[in-house]
Structure 1
Amino acid sequence: MKIVVIGGSGHIGSFLVPRLVRAGHEVANISRGSRLPYVDVPEWQQVRQVTADRKHEEREGIFGDRVAELGADVVVDLLCFTLESATALVDRLRGETGHLLHCGSIWRYGVSLKLPLAEGRDFAEEPVDEYGIQKRDIARMLKDETAAGGLATTSIHPGHIVGPGWQPIGPLGNLDPGVWQTIASGQPLQVPGNGTELMHHVHADDVAQAFEKAILNRDAAAGEDFNIVAPSALTVRGYVSVAASWFGQEPRMEPVGWEEFRRTTPGESADISWAHLSRNHCVSIHKATSLIGYAPRYEPEQAVLESVQWLISNGQLDVPKLLT
C-alpha cells in the first residue's frame, strides 16, 4: 500500500516508518524537516520526505490538499492536537483515502474511577486539561464519521511513550533527571502521597506495532479506538524499587504530602508530577489484543531501562554505571 505518515520523524514515527518499509509499503513522511528520526536505520533511505509546516498550511487552507495529492491508501496522523485540525483533514480525505489513523492519548481519560480503564466505559472522570479534552473529542468525531458511512478511521491512544533518545516519565511522574541521580546514589527520594499511584508506560515501538496492526486489520479497526500501553502498569513505589535495583541500591523513599513536595520541587516538575500521578492511570489493552492482535514486547520497566541506558551512553544522564 501507499502510506503517508504525518509527523513520522517523532517518537512513534521513528519506529513506525521503518516497520512499514520492511513490510513492503511505499511510505512518504510529512514533517517540517527540522528533526532527524530517533532511530537511524537503512529503511529511511526508501522513504519519500515531504517538507511542510502544518500549522502554517492549515492557516492557509492547503494542508489537506497536500496530503490528498499524495494519493495514499492509508494516512497516519501522528501530529494532530485539535478537533478543528482533525475535522479539516477528515473532510478533505473523505472519498479519497481508504483509511485514516489518528494518534490520541490515554489523557483523554481524566482521574481514574475504576481500573483498568477500558474504551467506551465510564471508568474515569472527564479529561482535566485542554490536551486531553481535544484528544477525547477527536476520538469521538472519528468514530461518528465512520459510523455514519464516511471515511474509515481508527484512533490509537498510547500511554506514556518511552524509547531511546528522550527522557522517560520518571518514578515521580516528571522529567527531572535529578530523580535518577538521587536513586542511583542511594539517597532518599521524596515521594508525594503514599506511592501507590499508577503510571502506564509503553515503548514507542509497541505503539508503532499497534498502528501497523490496525493498518493490516482495517476491517476490524475501522471505526474503533484502542488503548495502547504495556501489559502492566507501575506504581510509584514499584518504579522506584526496580530503578534502584539497576544501580545496585535499595529503594529509599520518604513519603511527603503534596504541599511539602511542591515546596521542595521546582514548579514545573511538581505540576507535571501532579498531572501524571493524580490521574492514577492503569489501562486495559484487551480490545486491541482481541481485535487487531496487538502484542506488546515490552513490560514498562524494560522500556524505561532501554531509555535510561541510551541517556547514560550518550552523556545525557550523569549517574553511576548501570549494573543491569
Structure 2
Amino acid sequence: MRVVVIGGSGHIGTFLVPRLVRAGHDVVSVSRGQHAGYVRDDAWRQVRQVTADRASATFPAEVADLAPDAVVDLVCFDLESATALVSRLRGVVGHLLHCGSIWRSGPSAKVPVTEDTGTPPIGAYGIAKDAIARMLKEETRSGGLVTTSLHPGHIVGPGWHPIGPLGNLDPTVWHRLSAGQPLEIPGIGAELMHHVHADDVAQAFEAALAHRDAAAGEDFSVVAPSALNVRGYAQIAASWFGLTADLRPVTWEQFRARAGEEAAQLSWEHLVRDHYFSIEKARTLLGYTPRYEPEDAILESVRWLVDHGQLKVANPLTID
C-alpha cells in the first residue's frame, strides 16, 4: 500500500516509518520539516518526505493529493482538524489511523482500565483526544471512512526525556537518584503511570494496518504490559546505579513549594489520573505483543541521554 504518515519524523514515526518500509509499503512522511527520525535507519532512504503545514486550510487536500491507500495521523490534537481531514479523505482513502492518548480517560476508578471503562477525561488535551476518538468511531459506524484510533501511554525511547518517577520531566530527579540523595515524593507514591516504548506503539499501528477489518471502527489502548507506581519506579531507577532510593513522603502543598510550580503541575497531571490500562483488546484483535516492560523502555531512554551528554548523573549506570 501507499501509506502516508503525518508526523512521520516524530517519536512514533521514528520506528513506524522504517517498519512500514521493511513490510514493503510505499511510504510518504509528511511533516513541517524534512528530516528522518530520532534513530538512524537506512530505510529512510526509501521514504518520500513532504513538507506541509497542518494549520493550512489546504492541508487535507494536500494529503489526499498524495493518493494514499491509508493515512496514519500521528499529530492531530483538536476535533476541528480531525474532522476536516476525515471529510476530505472520505471515499478517497481506505483506512485512516489516528494517534490518541490514554489521557482520553480521566482518573482511574478501576484498574486495569479497558477501552470501555475509562472515566470522563479531564483537561483540554484529554477532552480533545476523547472527542476525536468518538467522532472517528461514529464516522465508521455510520458507513463513512474506515478509521481506527490507537491510544498510547507515556511514550519513551532513545532521543528524548521520559516522564520520570515523579511524573514530570525534571532532570535533577535522575541526578538525585543516581547520587543516593533523598527524593521527596508527594503522598505515599502509590499512583500509577503507564509508559510504552515508541517501537511498541509503532508495532500496534503496523498491526492495525495489516488487520484493517478487525481494526475498523475500533479504539485500542497501546501501552506496556505493566505499569509503574511512583515509589516502585524510583526504586527501580535507583537500582540502575547500584543504589536504593531514599524516598521522603511530603504533602502536595510541600511538594509544590519545593519542586516549583511547573514541575509540580506536570506531576499532578500525570499522577492524579493514576493510569493502568489493559492491552487485551489490542492483543486479541491485532496480535499486539509489546517487547518492552516499562522499566526496560525507560532505561533505554535514560541510557541514550546519558551516553549523548543530555542527562547529568552522579554515578554511571551499573546495569547492562
Post-superposition offset of 1:267? 1.1
1:5 corresponds in structure 2 to 5
- Counterpart selection for 1:137 from 131, 144, 169: 131
TM alignment of 1:301-312, pairs within 5 A:
301-312=295-306
Structure 1: which 4+ aligned runs deviate by more than 2 Å?
Answer: none
1:270 corresponds in structure 2 to 264
1:115 corresponds in structure 2 to 111
Within 2, Cα distance between the matches of 1:187 and 1:68? 55
**1:99 to 2:95 alignment:** yes
Within 2, Cα distance between the matches of 1:34 and 1:161? 22
2:148 corresponds in structure 1 to 154
Within 1, Cα distance between the matches of 2:210 and 2:189? 40
TM alignment of 1:31-46, pairs within 5 A:
31-33=31-33, 36-46=36-46
1:321 corresponds in structure 2 to 316
1:67-114 deviations in Å (ceiling 9; x for gaps):
001111000000100000000000000000000000000000111111
2:182 corresponds in structure 1 to 188
Post-superposition offset of 1:34? 6.0
Which SS does the other structure have where 1:12 is aligned? helix
**1:80 to 2:76 alignment:** yes
1:17 corresponds in structure 2 to 17
- Counterpart selection for 1:288 from 282, 288, 297: 282
Q: Does the 8 Å CA contact 2:34/2:49 hold for their aligned counterparts?
A: no
Within 2, Cα distance between the matches of 1:266 and 1:310? 27
Which SS does the other structure have where 2:137 is aligned? helix
Within 2, Cα distance between the matches of 1:205 and 1:17? 10
- Counterpart selection for 1:66 from 62, 65, 69: 62
Unaligned runs of 5+ in 2: none
Within 2, Cα distance between the matches of 1:35 and 1:307? 21
Within 2, Cα distance between the matches of 1:232 and 1:35? 33
1:137-195 deviations in Å (ceiling 9; x for gaps):
00000000000010000000000000000000000000000000000000110000101
TM-score w.r.t. the length of structure 2 is: 0.98
1:213-267 deviations in Å (ceiling 9; x for gaps):
0000000000000000000000111101110100011121000000000010121
Within 2, Cα distance between the matches of 1:82 and 1:32? 17
Report the CA distance shift for 1:253/1:34 in structure 2 as closer, same or farther (over 3 A).
farther
TM-score w.r.t. the length of structure 1 is: 0.97
Unaligned runs of 5+ in 1: none
